[in-house]
Structure 1
């Protein structure tokens, strides 16, 4: 690209179809891991369901972490993403339907480990594919479009659990069908433009030491925000009920759904602003600060209205942060030939907190209450803000 020329951009069709495919990934695991899997384990293990679900979550997260790195590396080595995505879509869909044949908790766990392998065979190269074909000038818009994924996952959970719609076993195949409908269009008709500045050798963005520092700060910032979200995901209902015993799980689910929907236009607007002003990390900094502010409000809340307000501020800030961060991470990765592997390492910030935070929360809350927990999490968000503020200033 010559000086003064208009930068080559990826087609809107591909961006939207790619966002639909990523939403399909969310549809694949959100309804299953949050609703269908716990229900199946409860049906098998009765009063031991919490312990078995903890085992399943632990082994599933380990399988997801390792297979995401492995298939990211494999798609790097073969220099092809689409065949891996298609194979993972097929394998994970068949394994998801196979949960209907499980008869014991151990069979569920074994199949869960295999399903995570198949799912991440699809997700890892799908994540890297965007880095291959979407230029930096559109990373903000891409991040905004990725905000649809969590909302799609939550919506799919509502759909497949509608009373009378499907039996427990049919629900599994219904989820698989929804994933297929979301992912296949980009594989069949996406046809991304080939942009040399993206899929060729990257131009140098600065000294190698500076690039390594950017990667570390981006990784740590996401980890810190994910720690906060993982803790709240597990114990939010308990906290709301500690403030108001009349708080129902249905109302909490409604608040959560509204936050996911509200995050979509905010992320799109923030992403477009970041692209237009070439300030990719400014919205991330603001969102990390907003998440910290929300946690401080939650720590001081005495009434339900203030508590909900604090959680809405945290939830919107964290949701927008995670969507934009996923796209802007592609900006700082140093080598396109290792992009899939490196994104697998970044994926550890998603799986790691869910393994650790429940136990840390159980250690903090009995001694210091939810106020102590939220203050500690606000410290994590503040640390993420500082990391990204320095990074923004360095650009």
Structure 2
């Protein structure tokens, strides 16, 4: 255990990281596998069209609900209660989704599920800002790298052939989420740090708007990297197939999963270094820069081996960036009393790429191929590197 005088208890940090991973378990297998399968079963030949409708409606609902419930948890000063309520309701909605027999009902229930899920996720994100001091934000970011890895594992688990029928998979996912999130609600007793609930002191003139500029740079940089990451998440398989038609979907899944797991120890190491050196932003700028270089390497990859290596470097750097950025964002938000609401606004960087990425891809790939897309994404990542590389957080 960590001495409370030095930082938050290790037990809470681990339970909190497990709960955040539970959030990933809630949506990764459902949105990437279970929902498409259910839409295909209901919509048939129109499944791609209706899946797009589901994705759009779900993204809008998630964005608004994350802001709303983060704000409500600010007002009520009760993160734990909202998390528990969201856990119960979102798990119940996962089970109820098995009863959707037509597309309008499926979309309506999906929207309600997204609202319930973000009742849990919004306050959960803000809770770390309330109780994890800045000197542990790097460590927190490293622990948060477990979330996407466990999300991917849960997707592989529930789709093991013969393990469960389609409706039973929903129940398995709900049970896994409860198993991940409930422990921090029951056993998590964080050491309070009252200073974390005090507003940041305003900087002296002539730059009274510095905190807002830092927040804006952090927000924009994350959005730029998230667009690149979302495009690779959606089109990795098709890109690899364009290089080597022999590669299968299982091969692409293995590469994706390996990169996620390599990101965990790498992010932990870098996050601990950032804490010790008190350089919270430098690893983010470097990770964004490495992502840009890896995307350029992907654009120029002459064969499958070079393509896989370049993607592995990109996936590692982008995964590290996103996990560490999540933790360091808690450092720069100037108003603890509105932390949940402000994190909800930051959460737009997770949902907006699903609206930006399709037209970007459709506009570039048919004309310039995947190489043109990767050069454009590299430009976005390089801009993120520039934004963060010129950002200075007052000490």
Q: TM-score, normalised by structure 1?
A: 0.97
Aligned-partner Cα distance in 2 for 1:126–1:58: 24
Deviation at 1:8, TM superposition (A): 4.0
Moved more, 246-255 or 206-215: 206-215
Partner residue of 2:155 out of 146, 157, 163: 157
The residue number in structure 1 matching 2:221 is 221
Distance 1:188 1:393, change over 3 A: closer
The residue number in structure 1 matching 2:188 is 190
Aligned length, in residue pairs: 390
Deviation at 1:205, TM superposition (A): 6.3
The residue number in structure 2 matching 1:3 is none
Aligned-partner Cα distance in 2 for 1:366–1:21: 41
Deviation at 1:199, TM superposition (A): 2.9
Aligned positions of 1:126-205 closer than 5 A: 126-203=124-201
SS at 1:306 equivalent:
helix
Partner residue of 1:57 out of 55, 58, 62: 55
Deviation at 1:393, TM superposition (A): 8.1
Aligned positions of 1:68-107 closer than 5 A: 68-107=66-105
Q: 1:220-272, CA deviations, whole angstroms, 9 ceiling, x for partnerless residues?
A: 10000001011111111111111111111110000000000000000000100
The residue number in structure 2 matching 1:231 is 231
Q: TM-score, normalised by structure 2?
A: 0.97
Distance 1:392 1:305, change over 3 A: farther
Distance 1:204 1:269, change over 3 A: farther
SS at 1:391 equivalent:
coil
Aligned positions of 1:319-338 closer than 5 A: 319-338=319-338
Q: Is the 8 A contact 1:45 1:52 kept in 2?
A: yes
SS at 2:86 equivalent:
helix
Aligned-partner Cα distance in 2 for 1:336–1:31: 33
Q: Which runs of 5+ in 2 are unaligned?
A: none
The residue number in structure 2 matching 1:115 is 113
The residue number in structure 1 matching 2:212 is 212
Q: 1:178-230, CA deviations, whole angstroms, 9 ceiling, x for partnerless residues?
A: 00000011001110001122134445566541111100100010000001011
Q: Is the 8 A contact 1:223 1:350 kept in 2?
A: yes
Q: Is the 8 A contact 1:267 1:323 kept in 2?
A: yes
SS at 1:301 equivalent:
coil
Aligned-partner Cα distance in 1 for 2:194–2:6: 9
